A and B are shown apart, each in its own frame.
Chain A
Amino acid sequence: MFRLKSLLTGGVIATLLVTSAFAKRGADGIVKILNWQAPSMMNPYLAGGDKEVIAASLVLEPLAGYDENGVLFPRLAAEIPTVENGGVAEDLKSITWKLKSGLKWSDGSPVTSKDVVFTANYCMDPKVGCAALAGFQGVDKVEALDDLTVKVTFKEPTGVPYTLFVSQWSPIIQANQFADCLSAKAPTCTEANFYPIGTGPFVVTSFKPNDAIQLKANPNYRDANKPAFAEVNVKGGGDALGAARAVLQTGEYDYALNLQLAPDVLSEMEKGDKGKAGFTFGTTVEFLFMNLTDPSPSLPPEERSTAKHPHPILSDVRVRKALSMALDRARLSDIGYGSMGKPTCDFVPAPPIFAAGSTSCLQQDIPGAKRLLDEAGWRQGPDGIRGKDGEKLKLTLVTTTNPVRNQFQAIIKQWWHDIGVEVELRSIDASVFFGSDPSNPETYSNFYADAQMWANYFSGSDPGAYAESYTCGQSHGSNTPRYCDTNYDALVTELGKTADIEKRGEIVKKLNTILMDSYAIMPLVWRAGVSGISNTLGGTASNAWDSELWNAQDWYRNK
């Protein structure tokens, strides 16, 4: 009897403990988030960067999002449309989304397919200047079939039709609120851009651009018990070091985003035992890009770095391979990123189904690189620098002004010098290098240099559009090395028409092998995102495929 009683009370206590984690809405008070880069608006469609998009994901939701494993899950949609369940047409030319029934905006009005159609019209309006336009580009039309059903028709068969209305980049906005914000009026809609009405777990109560955002629990959120926090306080300003200190050392804040700091600084701060640094490996890879075309200033500007003139040195694949063989990627990763980086040979390092997991480039081989250059006809000169037909093997390597990248430059210069290549280094301010002005000669997209180093990544968990950016047709834009291979292009076309995930995985791995064997782009380090998480904050799940705050509705206070 006594035993039974203790068992029963034990059971009761256990249930109490479990339910306390899923307590009532708003039971856990305030959660404080530090985003030192400071969001300047809450409308991801007009945003100038990731920081705004992440903040907006607390309020605005897409039809479907990616979970921590990169798997699509329905948010506003009732289920993920696929070919199997009939949501995606057999010819892959249309997708039909069904909304959950009974969904409400935070102002209490119902969410309907009209809002979804409006969102598409808003982003596809050329005067708006929509940042997510790339996802809408293949769309023929978006139409509402009934109050809860939306059909998207594409111009071409589309293997992965989840580019629009999916992930933090493409959430649904309320038609009613943004109705007057179309075309040239988009920038005057300050109220809508600062206080968007959403379906997410929180509602903006006060927005101060680049400073502080206050949010409260959405009274109309679809799960009556969530979110556990009654208020969210997002603060911006300062730098990564100060943000790490506030979470890991003084414990003033619960969560800090984007803490790219030296590994030893972070581990020293973690000793305070107030919080931990969390690493998330997504798709960000630090690359060396080789220019396959001639960047010489003696060419006319419209022909400089174009496929019309192949690069005098780097168009020979043996030279590019030798340059890659001279690198010790593990050393670079260790020096620059510690546990926040891993050496890699893949341009798509994740998710696992797409990652080739190649290790062929990891072994540094200086003698092999020298032999290869000998074979290519580059003979060692008296000064140690190789030459051919009176021309010296001399390259310029450009990157952004950043301590880690500049250190990498110096190390790579040494290795390349060891195999007889003279390297000239240049670094350019990131805001100039990543600029969008076509007339600026210093930008990464103009690529008026022989090699450049920067990090590339793709959003979401599907590399389709990312792989497409290295096709011949893109060589004026995102294909910075001006790489062009008909085999690669044919496989990308095939990928575009393939819906089956296993087959897509195989094709991406093949693409990876073709691209890596070309040595036009050389992956160096697979980089992690770093966040600081307080020990008292529960329920966080790091997510590299969607917003870091994707599951803020499930966060709670550890008791």
Chain B
Amino acid sequence: MLNYAIRRLLISVPTLCLISLVIFSLLKMAPGDPLSQLPPSLPPEVRANMRAALGIDEPLFVQYLLWLKQFFVIEPLHGFDVLFGTHFTDGMQRIISWQSRGPVFRIIAERLPQTLLVVGLAYIVGLLIALPIGIVSAYKQYSVFDQIGTFLSMLGLAVPSFFSGVLAILIFAVYLDWLPTIYNTNLIVNSWSSFIEQLRQMAMPVMVLAVQTTASISRYLRSSMLDNLNQDYVRTARAKGMGENVVVLIHVLRNSMIPVVTVIALGLPSIFAGAIVTEQIFKVNGIGELLITAIYANDVPMVQTLAFIFAVLIVVFNLIADLFYGLLDPRIRYD
């Protein structure tokens, strides 16, 4: 297993290099300009000067190598400096966002907490709701509960968050006036009242995101449970006189979880990637919002870095899902 993991990690290095090159060339081919927000009456020579200061006109090859050096050498070294108080990177140029002229990783670190909190919590809430729904729907197939569950999860899958989010705002904020529509990223939770405030501002984005997780995971679990419920080993277990709880929750559920765990693990990178639409609607301003504003502003270093981090996360979580498979299913062996 360790050999397998190391082999997979080594294979992923050229993959990631290729991905970074593809992301970089795609961004460079994309039209658009980081200075397009400036007033049109600004003289062209002033613009040219600003372009030069940003380094936009450097040859592509130079820009790519510089980014590689910054990403793989300077940024890890800087992280080392921060952790151990050393000064290896003093005076070295970190990856700088074109929009804010601030280090890209500093901004990502600022955005990560709210994304992890809101999108992560929504994932957990979604899972906690999805698991019982999936189990009961499969066990009582075609019952009223199953029909309603199927209908609601279809609805959850079909309704996009830009609709459900705005609908939630209209109901809970405009008409009922219960919840805030704008997420305050500067809220510090240090008392009961601020904790309640945090719960209130998270309620709507978590709800909107959880509906989507619930819908898809409960469908997966239901079909996986249905496959297992008709197996011989279930009949054997019942014939041995085991109670229904033991049969369903221990024998069937454990076997049914194998494919579902893969789906859950593959969904984990999306927690770090944030939720572009939902974050925008509720102004959560996490990683998803950071990515979309950087794309709009043609902030190439920011988009490049974020897209590459997502690529790394996806490769890593794919590996984790594969390894989990081996742990859950003794029949699968990698050596």
Contacts and interface: CB of A to CB of B under 8 A. Distances in A.
Given A46-B101, A457-B39, A211 B44 contact: no
Interface in B150-178: 169, 173-174, 177
A4 B237 CA distance: 100
Interface in A220-263: 233, 235-239, 242, 245-246, 249-250, 252-253
Contact of B102 (A130, A209, A454): A209
Interface string A454-467: 11111100000110
Contacts of B96: 187-188
A237 B40 contact: no
Contact of A459 (B39, B101, B182): B39
B101 A237 contact: no
B35 A235 contact: no
B283 A242 contact: yes
A310 B287 CA distance: 51
B34 interface: yes
Contacts of A533: none
Given A127-B53, A242-B181, A134 B174 contact: no
B317 to A, nearest CB: 27
Contacts of A250: 173-174, 177, 180-181
Interface residues of B, number: 61
Given A209-B102, A250-B174, A245 B35 contact: no
Interface stretch (A79-87, A158-166, A427-435): A427-435
Contact of A436 (B31, B35, B110): B35
A206 interface: yes
A347 B102 CA distance: 39
A186 interface: yes
Contact of A130 (B49, B103, B281): B49
Contacts of A236: 283, 285
Contacts of A206: 186
- Number of contact residues on A: which range applies? 35 or more
Nearest to B165: A242
A318 B282 CA distance: 53
B33 A435 contact: yes
B37 A49 contact: yes
B50 A469 contact: no
A210 interface: yes
Contacts of B47: 436
A543 interface: no
Given A193-B100, A211-B111, A252-B181, A131 B46 contact: yes
Contact of A209 (B41, B97, B180): B97
A477 B46 CA distance: 11
A48 B37 contact: yes
A442 interface: yes
B17 interface: no
Interface string B85-103: 0000000010011111111
A396 interface: no
A440 B31 contact: yes
Given A190-B101, A209-B100, A432 B31 contact: yes
Contacts of B49: 126, 129-130, 133
Contacts of B44: 436, 438, 445, 476-478
Contact of A237 (B38, B53, B285): B285
B95 to A, nearest CB: 11
Interface string B36-70: 11111111111111111110100000000000000
Given A189-B101, A438-B48, 13 more contacts: A48-B38, A48-B99, A131-B50, A186-B53, A190-B103, A208-B107, A209-B99, A210-B289, A212-B185, A435-B31, A435-B35, A436-B47, A477-B44
Interface of B: 31-54, 56, 93, 96-103, 106-107, 110-111, 169, 173-174, 177, 180-182, 184-186, 279-285, 289-290, 293, 296-298
The 4 A-B pairs at the shortest CB distance, nearest first, are namely A129-B53, A435-B33, A49-B37, A477-B44
Interface of A: 34, 38, 40-41, 43, 46, 48-51, 126-131, 133-134, 137, 186-190, 193-194, 206, 208-212, 214, 233, 235-239, 242, 245-246, 249-250, 252-253, 272, 429-438, 440, 442, 444-445, 454-459, 465-466, 469, 474, 476-478
21 contacts: A34-B182, A50-B37, A126-B49, A129-B54, A134-B43, A208-B107, A209-B107, A214-B186, A236-B285, A238-B282, A252-B180, A431-B36, A432-B31, A434-B33, A434-B40, A436-B44, A456-B41, A457-B39, A457-B41, A477-B43, A477-B44
